[in-house]
Structures are given as C-alpha cells and as structure tokens.
C-alpha cells in the first residue's frame, strides 16, 4: 500500500437461496484467501448473506435472525484479517426492513449503510419488502458487540494510516439514478466507492453496465468497485452473471468473465485519484452535500509495499490496441493539420517553409503541412522544403528528404550551409576543428536564419518540426530549431511521432511514399551536427540524452499526474522489467529532472502550436513554470532509492 496503491477485490461467492450459514462460509473462505494475497478491501454483492432472490422469505423471522447471527460470526472469524470487508444483508430496525451493507474490520461491524433507492419497476419489486434508506443517521447494536454501530446513508470509512483511502458505499440501483449517493460521497471526500449489486443479466445490459461504472468513476474521479451476484441465485425469472468490475478514473482495470463466480483483484492508485482532483479545479463544489457525514476511522495493522498485478504500458502516449492507434493517429493528424490550416488562412500566407532533414520530426511536419494544404485548397507546390546539408549530413537522410519532398508534390530547395557556417565561426574566432556546442549550434541557428529569410522572401511561414520530448529535455538550439512561426509537433512526444509516421506509411495507397516513410522510421534519431563516420550517422540522440521511450514515460507521469520521483522510478521498473535495469532507469530519470528544470527558459518562449493530448508544455496553457526553479527536492527524493534499490 506504499506509493498510494491499494489492493482491492470484487468477489462473487457461491450462494444458496435463503441459506445464510452456507453463504457466510463461502464469503469467509474468500476473505481468508484474499487476505493472504494482501488484499485490503473486499467487496461482496448485494444481499449476498441470504441471496438476493429470497422474495417473500425476507419477511420470515427465522431468515432475518439467522442472517444476523451469521454476520456476528463472520465478524468474529475475520478478527485477524487486516482487510476491510463489505457484505450485503437484510437488516431490521424498529420493525422496518432495510437492504443494507455492513462494513467489517478487525472482528467488528464498524458501520452499516442502507440502500437509498429501492427499485420497483419491471422485474424489480424491492419495495414489497424493503424501506427506503435515504437520509438516515442513526445507530444500531449487534449481539456480542458492545459499541453502537453507525447506521445511515452518509457514512464514510477513513483509513488513518493511509490517508488517501476514504471509502463510500452504495447499493446496486443507487448508481443507476440521476444523482447517485456516490456523487455526494466523493464531494465529502470519498476516493473509493464500493457498490454491492445484484444486477440481473439481459441482452446488451453488460455493455451498458460497463460504460456506467467506468463513466461513474470518470465523472467522480474515483475508484469504483462493483461486485455482482452470480450463479446460485434463483433462476425462476432471472439470470445473474456475476459481472464484477473495478474501474479507476474512467479506466476499467479488471473485469470478471460473466457467468462464472469469480473474484477479481487489482491495485487502485489513490495518489492518481487525489492528483487528478487537485489538478481539475472544478472538481469540488461547496454545497450542502458535504454536511451531515460521519467519518468512521480505522487503521491497518500493516502498510506494506504492494506487489503490482496491474500493468503499466511502456508507451503511455500510444493507444494499446491497433484499432485505437489508427483512430487516434487519424484524429491527431487532423488536429495538427486544422491548427495549421487556420494559421495559414489567418495570416494569408502564400507558402509554408519547412527545413526537411530526412528525420522523423520533419517528416511528420511535412505530412501534416501537406494535409493542411489539402484541407485549405492550396497547391502543395507552395510547400517549400529546404534541405541544408552541412558537416553532419549523411547520404541516407539527404536522400530520404529529397524523395519525400518529391513524392508529396512539394517544392525542394537545396541550400548547402557549409561555407556560411564556416565563415560565421571564423568571424567570431571559433576554430572549425573544435567540434563543441558552438560548432553544433552554429549550424542549427544558420538553418533557422535561412528558413526565416526564405519565408519572408516568399510571403510564407516557417513550420516548426520540434516535438514535445525534445522540448521537455531542452534538446533544441535556442533560437535555432527551437524557433518557428507555428510548431505543429510541439505537443507530440517522440514515441507518438514514430507511430504517426508508421500509421501514415501503413494507410497510404502510394507504395513509393510508404517505402520512403519506412526508411525514415529505420533511420537512427540524430541532429546530424557532427561529421559522419565512414558515411554513417556519428551522433545518435538517444546515446546522448537517453532512450526516448523512457523519457516519454517519465514525462507522462510527471506532468500528467505530478507523481513523486520515487514513484515514477517504481512504475518505470515495473513497466520496463527485463528491458532496462534499475540503474539505467535511475540514471536517465535523474537526467530528465535536471534537464527539465534547467531548460525551462526555452519553453517559456515557445511559438504557437496545437495541443493534441493531455500533456503539453506551452507557456500559455499547460505549463506555467518559472525558468529558475530549483530541482533539488526532486533529486533528493530520488536519492532515497539508493539504499533500497542499490542505484
């Protein structure tokens, strides 16, 4: 449970209708199994201690008394379990019967929540037996437990030694109404909602249910654990499938196979939830819904490191499925193109000027510009692609740049800059044999000078090619490739650039274009500012700044979620297990932080460019960061890992 992770379970036990003793034994068996696995919250279905389909048997004293007896037994038998347990049962109070959920912890029932909304339509007739539990605030007593047990709809269960874990409960129908109790629970502080359900299965209902639960977790920015009744319920009129779902902030983390009584287990990230709520300033609303809540405090005996079973993808900016990738790539290309189209039309530009290198970024920028010209009804020959060979240019990248320009129907200009750069370096007293940062940046700034002046000459606009990953690392020459008149790639990370170019290669009907794009994809990423060795690229970016897949992973969790450095390191070791060891990840994560803080001055004066995803570094939008902030506390947090991980 360290680093904000909580292992949770949604469980469907085997049940026999109207047999509380059998049902309790099945519940107890699951509790003991899951507690051994480190599960800290176990949610069972609605009325699982009796089964949901008892009908008028709910009015029989013997069933209600036996259920109460079994609840006391269940509490006693789970005394040594360090898990919070939520079970559904029928409860009487003052001659009124409620459909209720009991929360058990360390051998006691610490709270009971009645169902707020009682369905009485179609196949449901709960109002025949159960009373509405809305706005109840009271206490009840159980045999063998001296303390009064809070009973009501506004109970929240708060963990004192895991401060981000605050549990709220609702029961089945409660989530299907316009304003669910969970909406008020989260407004009062709940981060986790448990729903004890008995939702019968009809054609198409599972798909709707899945959307409902994932949508509720998204709307409320919470974790939502949905436990459903399954096989064992009466099939006189209905069938129950045991459709368990665990969702977090709109994402279904785990889902059971229907028609099997399963227990699904995963880890929810409470820090993720709190960070999202903090980031979204409209999340909390000051209103009366926060009033009248009772907080029931408890503490786990042990708060340990969680062994993760949920997976973290190595490329969080790239969709996981091929269908999603294609859909997302098409959308991103359109966003980039439509942003550029508007700028071209607004400025009445006659042309677009791109420095084309034969690398990934300039290739994507050219593809986007061609699409923008098509959308605007402009002739692609007015896209001016300028190749500027210099000391580090190789035949491979030069050929890619030339062929790509021709096949897209743009206009190629070749302007070698060797002599101009050499003259400039000589004029400032720099030895051409000293291949230092001045040597490299002199080339980058000369290229930008050429592009800007050509744009002025032709009434055009310089299209920026730099991507989000380079901006985050500061891997751009200030007032060199750092500068443009519109940066179409400014919020596209390097890992996604690669997928966009690959998508274009895979979907174009032009085989020649596809072959060129695939050749670009196979070319090492390089600024090509140092002379080649034996005709091959001598300067590979990832050898200098580190693997872009690692940096994009860091970037996502730093800017999107604001995680602590030690947690990002932990997630990276999980995601890249078997690919990079801890020392490598530590080295490049520390490097990322140093570069990110030191290079903010470049991001503080970025050209305009379209935002296409949830992470961007525009100083006018997503990242308002001082250029002289200290990185020290971030590096200090990383140092805490040295003893633990031997890095």
pLDDT at 506: 94
Q: What is the pLDDT of residue 334?
A: 97
> Does domain 322-645 bear CATH number 3.40.50.620?
yes
Name the binding residues for ATP. 355-362, 465
Q: What percent of the chain has pLDDT over 90?
A: 86
Please provide the size of the chain in residues. Answer: 647
Q: Nearest-5° angle of CA 255, CA 260, CA 263? A: 50
Domain extent listing, the chain: 2-298, 322-645
pLDDT score at 130: 96
CA 251 to chain centre: 8
Task: Work out the average pLDDT over 175-185.
Answer: 95
Q: Taking residues 425-443, what's their average pLDDT?
A: 94
Is the four-CA dihedral 276, 279, 281, 286 of positive or negative sign?
positive
Q: How far is CA 490 from CA 171, 317, 479, in A?
A: 46, 14, 15
pLDDT of 397 reads 86
- In this model, does residue 251 exceed pLDDT 90? yes
- Give the chain's mean pLDDT: 94
393-413 pLDDT per residue, tens: 888 888 999 999 999 999 999
* Confidence band, pLDDT 50/70/90 cuts, at residue 525: confident
Would the pLDDT of 527 be above 70? no
pLDDT score of 285 more than 60: no
Q: What is the pLDDT of residue 104?
A: 98
Q: How far apart are CA 596 and CA 590, in angstroms?
A: 10
Sheet with 383-387, strands from edge to edge, namely 411-414, 383-387, 351-355, 460-464, 486-487
C-alpha distance from residue 259 to each of 43, 198, 229, 238, 242 (Å): 18, 13, 10, 13, 6
Averaged pLDDT, 539-544: 80
Q: How much is the pLDDT for 539?
A: 64
Identify the pLDDT of residue 394.
82
In this predicted structure, the answer to whether residue 618 has a pLDDT above a threshold of 80 is yes
Q: Is the pLDDT of residue 635 over 60?
A: yes
Nearest to 483 by CA among 448, 457, 456: 448
Distance of alpha carbon 530 from alpha carbon 541, whole angstroms: 12
In the annotated binding site, the residues are 121, 199, 205, 355-362, 441, 465, 470, 475-478, 602
Confidence check: pLDDT of 534 > 70 = no
Please determine, for residue 287, whether its predicted confidence score (pLDDT) is greater than 60. Answer: no
Pair 156, 190: CB distance under 8 Å: yes
Annotated binding site for L-glutamine: 121, 199, 205
Instruction: Give pLDDT, residue 3.
Output: 85
pLDDT digits (tens, 9 = 90+) for 102-140: 999 999 999 999 999 999 988 888 999 999 998 888 999
Residue 644, pLDDT > 80, answer no
Residue 1 is predicted with a pLDDT of: 54
H-helix segments, 40-139: 61-77
Cβ count within 10 A of residue 3: 18
CATH number of 2-298, picked from 2.102.10.10, 2.40.37.10, 3.60.110.10, 3.30.230.10: 3.60.110.10
> Which is more confidently placed, 258 or 531?
258
Question: How many CB atoms within 10 Å of residue 162?
Answer: 19
More confident residue, 175 or 534: 175
Residue 126 is classified by DSSP as G
What is the reported pLDDT for 537?
A: 61
Residue 288 has pLDDT above 90, yes or no: no
State which H helix or E strand residue 440 sits in.
Answer: helix 437-458
Separation between Cα atoms, residue 384 and residue 401, nearest integer Å: 12
Q: Which residue, among 48, 85, 49, 43, has the nearest Cα to 67 in the 3D structure? A: 49
CA–centroid distance for 229 within its chain: 30
- What pLDDT shows up at residue 542? 84
Residues annotated as catalytic are 46, 115, 172
User: Residue 528: what pLDDT?
Assistant: 62
pLDDT of residue 350: 86
SS3 at position 150: strand
Q: In the structure, what pLDDT confidence band is assigned to residue 290 with cuts at 50, 70 and 90?
A: low
Residue 98 sits at φ, ψ, to 5 deg, of -120, 145
Q: Residue 634: which of 572, 592, 571 has the closest Cα?
A: 592
Evaluate if residue 385 carries a pLDDT over 70.
yes
């Amino acid at each position: 449970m360290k680093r904000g992770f909580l292992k949770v379970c949604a469980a469907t036990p085997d049940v026999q209708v109207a047999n509380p003793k059998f049902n309790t034994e099945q519940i107890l068996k699951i509790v003991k199994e899951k507690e051994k696995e480190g599960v800290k919250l176990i949610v069972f279905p609605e009325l699982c201690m009796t089964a949901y389909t008892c009908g008028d048997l709910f009015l029989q004293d013997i069933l209600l008394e036996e259920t109460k007896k079994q609840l006391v037994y269940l509490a006693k038998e789970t005394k040594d379990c360090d898990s919070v347990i939520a079970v559904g049962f029928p409860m009487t109070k003052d001659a009124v019967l409620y459909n209720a959920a009991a929360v058990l912890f360390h051998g006691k029932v610490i709270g009971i929540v009645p169902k707020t909304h009682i369905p009485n339509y179609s196949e449901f007739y709960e109002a025949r037996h159960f009373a509405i539990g809305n706005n109840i605030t009271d206490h009840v007593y159980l045999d063998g437990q001296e303390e009064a047990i809070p009973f009501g709809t506004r109970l929240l269960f708060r963990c004192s030694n895991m401060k981000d874990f605050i549990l709220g409960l609702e029961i089945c129908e409660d989530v299907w109404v316009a304003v669910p109790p969970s909406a008020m629970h989260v407004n009062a502080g709940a981060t986790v909602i448990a729903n004890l359900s008995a939702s019968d299965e009809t054609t198409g209902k599972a798909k709707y249910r899945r959307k409902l639960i994932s949508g509720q977790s998204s709307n409320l920015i919470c974790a939502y654990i949905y436990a459903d009744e399954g096989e064992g319920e009466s099939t006189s009129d209905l069938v129950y499938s045991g459709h368990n779902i665990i969702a977090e902030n709109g994402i279904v983390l785990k889902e059971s196979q229907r028609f099997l009584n399963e227990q699904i287990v995963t880890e929810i990230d409470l820090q993720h939830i709190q960070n999202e709520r903090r980031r979204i300033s409209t999340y909390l609303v000051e209103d009366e819904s926060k009033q009248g809540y009772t907080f029931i405090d408890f503490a786990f005996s042990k708060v340990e490191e969680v062994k993760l079973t949920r997976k973290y993808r190595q490329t969080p900016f790239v969709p996981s499925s091929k269908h999603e990738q294609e859909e997302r790539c098409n959308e991103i290309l359109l966003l980039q193109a439509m942003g550029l189209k508007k700028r071209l039309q607004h400025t009445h530009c006659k042309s677009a000027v791109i420095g084309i290198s034969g690398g990934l970024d300039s290739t994507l920028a050219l593809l986007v510009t061609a699409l923008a010209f098509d959308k605007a009804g402009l002739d692609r020959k007015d896209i001016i692609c300028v190749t500027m060979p210099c000391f580090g240019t190789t035949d491979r990248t030069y050929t890619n740049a030339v062929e790509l320009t021709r096949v897209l129907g743009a206009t190629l200009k070749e302007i070698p800059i060797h002599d101009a750069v050499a003259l400039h370096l000589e004029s400032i007293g720099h030895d051409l044999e000293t291949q230092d940062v001045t040597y490299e940046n002199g080339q980058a700034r000369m290229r930008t000078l050429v592009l800007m002046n050509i744009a002025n000459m032709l009434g055009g606009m310089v299209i920026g090619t730099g991507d989000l990953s380079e901006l985050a690392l500061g891997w751009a020459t200030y007032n060199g490739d750092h500068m443009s008149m519109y940066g179409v790639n400014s919020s596209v990370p390097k890992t996604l650039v690669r997928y966009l170019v690959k998508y274009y290669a895979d979907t174009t009907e032009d085989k020649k274009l596809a072959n060129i794009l695939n050749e670009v994809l196979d070319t090492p990423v390089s600024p090509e500012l140092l002379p080649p060795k034996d005709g091959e690229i001598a300067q590979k970016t990832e050898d200098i700044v580190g693997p872009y897949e690692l940096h994009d992973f860091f970037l996502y969790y730093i800017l999107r979620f604001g995680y602590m450095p030690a947690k990002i390191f932990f997630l990276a070791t999980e995601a890249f297990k078997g690919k990079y060891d801890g020392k490598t990840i530590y080295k490049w994560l520390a490097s990322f932080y140093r570069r990110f803080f030191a290079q903010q001055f470049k991001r503080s004066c970025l050209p305009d460019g379209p935002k296409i995803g949830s992470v961007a570094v525009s100083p006018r939008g997503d990242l308002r960061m001082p250029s002289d902030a200290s990185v020290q506390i971030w590096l200090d947090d990383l140092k805490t890992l040295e003893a633990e991980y031997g890095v």
